[in-house]
Structure 1
Amino acid sequence: MNEMAVADRWLYSVFSQLGTAYNGCVPKKGTFPCIVFACLGGSDLNVPSQHIWAELNYIVKVWGTEPQDTLFDSACAAIERAQGVTTDYGYIQSCARQSVSASQETETNITYYSREATFRIRVKPGEQVPEQTSGESETEGE
């Protein structure tokens, strides 16, 4: 079972309804503003012959060439405190925001603004979660 694939697909489906969404990083010719999410790691609970759940830590960043407070608030509201969400391949038991921060970077005379939050997402596996191959991601615009 691949709980990270369940969470990735859920986040992508939610965020892509709000605008451009990328799993992992913004591609070289990416579109701004955008929502970027990535799994930072996690833990799981197993008992003999049964996998109970995985608790995954995700970072969610909203990038833009100007501050994107409204998009950030919408992205957080769309997943924060989610409970009991059934997906095609699993079940999102809970989603809780842990921290929030903001930053900005300048590259080739363009300032990029970022708001970010970390979330703890508890996922229960489904019966037919497809395995994700190394390097495969759900991104838009590549």
Structure 2
Amino acid sequence: MRLIITVLFLLLVITGCDSKSEKELLENLVSKDPDFYMLYAVPEIDKEFIDVQEVQDYYNLDFNKLLSNDSLDTLYFGTYLWLMPVDNYKTYKYIETLEFDDYPAFVIFDSEQLVFSSSNIEEVEHFLSTREETNGIKLRKEQEIDYYSQ
């Protein structure tokens, strides 16, 4: 009996040391600036893409071209990022728990938490373009960045 309890305890300790809390996982995903969002495109995990270019080629679409300047102005980098399992597998597994029906899926984070998720880029566009204008977004709009020529 003592052996069973010891083994169970060790298993809990080992798995507990390896697992990250939700807060730790979110640290890699949230925006570094409260004025802006982070938008991630999430590819299918079972496709086992090697790099971002391979994912981009597979979906054969630049999602920035489907987003307005108003939407892109709300994003920390002015663009979306692919969330790749090879970059951070545990973070990707956390996102995978959202159980999307279609891929690519899109997740949006503010500086603290997940604020929106969808598999529909038009819904993403609507969510982003209707965001309240922050000081950072206002400054970015004044710069009149041409996101499509980059």
| TM-score range normalised by the length of the shorter chain | under 0.3
Calculate the TM-score normalised by the size of structure 2.
0.26
Q: Considering only CA atoms, is the larger Rg found in Structure 1 or Structure 2? A: 2
Structure in which a larger fraction of residues adopt helix: 2
